[in-house]
Structure 1
Amino acid sequence: MQNSKFTPFIFFSEAQAIAFSEAARTLLTWAGTNYPATCFKLAREYIARIESPDHKIPLDDAQDLLALLGTCCMTTQHAQPTRTLWSDCVRILSIKIANIPK
C-alpha cells in the first residue's frame, strides 16, 4: 500500500492577499535593525507567494510566517502599531488555516 502525501495550501482572495501583505510588509518595515536579515528575507518570500497571481501559500509556510511575524513584532521598539499589524496578520491567517478541510 502506498501512502499519498499532499501539501495543503491556503488560498486568499485578492482583497485578503492585499490586506495581509500590506499589514505584514508594514510590520517588517517597523521591525528595524533588531530583526535578523535571514528572517526578514524569508518572511518577504512567503508574503510574495501570497501576493502572487494565485494568492496561495502552503500551510507549513503559513505557519512559519506567523512565527516570523510574531518574532518581528517582538523585536520592534514601536509596540502598539506593530501589535495591531501583527493581530491583523494573525486574524487573517488563522481564519484561513481554520477553514482548511481536514
Structure 2
Amino acid sequence: MFLSQKTRIPFVFFSEDQANAFSDSARRLLTWAGEEYTDCCYKFARECISRIEAPGHKIPLDDAETLLALLGHCCLTTNTPEPAHTLWSQCVRILSQRICELTREAA
C-alpha cells in the first residue's frame, strides 16, 4: 500500500539553553554507564545528543523517546545511584517539557 500524502515526522526542538543543559546532563550520565550498557546503546545515545547540540537543536520525536529510555537504562545499570539519578531526572525534566509542548502545538 502506498501513502498518497507525505507523512510528517514530528521533531522535538530545544532552545540553545535547553540543548546545552540536556546534553551536559546526558553526557555526564553516559560517563556513569555500567557494564550492562551496550556499545550500540551508547553510540545511539551519543548520536542523538549530538543532533540536539547541532544547529537547529532538534531530534525526531521517536528518537527522543528512544533516547529517554536509553538514558533511563543507563541510570539503572550504573553502580553509583548518585549523581546518575540526579542527571537522569534533569534529562527527563527537559525532554518531557519539550515533548509536552510539542503535543500541545499539534493539538
* TM-score, scaled to structure 2: 0.90
Identity of aligned residues (%): 59
2:40 counterpart residue number = 38
Which 5+ residue runs of structure 2 have no aligned equivalent?
Answer: none
Matched AA of 2:68: L
Q: How many residues align?
A: 102
The runs of at least 4 consecutive aligned structure 1 residues that moved more than 2 Å come to 1-4
- What's 2:59 paired with? 57
**What's the counterpart of residue 21 of structure 2?**
19
Superposition TM-score, scaled by structure 1 size? 0.94
- C-alpha distance in 1 between matches for 2:34 and 2:55: 29
Superposition map of 1:1-102 within 5 A = 2-100=4-102, 101-102=105-106
Deviation, 1:2, is 2.6
Cα distance in structure 1, aligned partners of 2:7 and 2:85:
36
Greater CA deviation, 45-54 or 2-11? 2-11
Structure 1, residues 52-84: CA drift from partner, whole Å, max 9, x if none?
011100100000000000000011011021011
Quote the RMSD (CA, aligned, Å): 1.3
Amino acid in structure 2 at the alignment position of 1:60: D
SS in 1 for 2:12: strand
Query: d(CA) in 1 for partners of 2:28 and 2:5?
Result: 42
Unaligned runs of 5+ residues in structure 1 are none
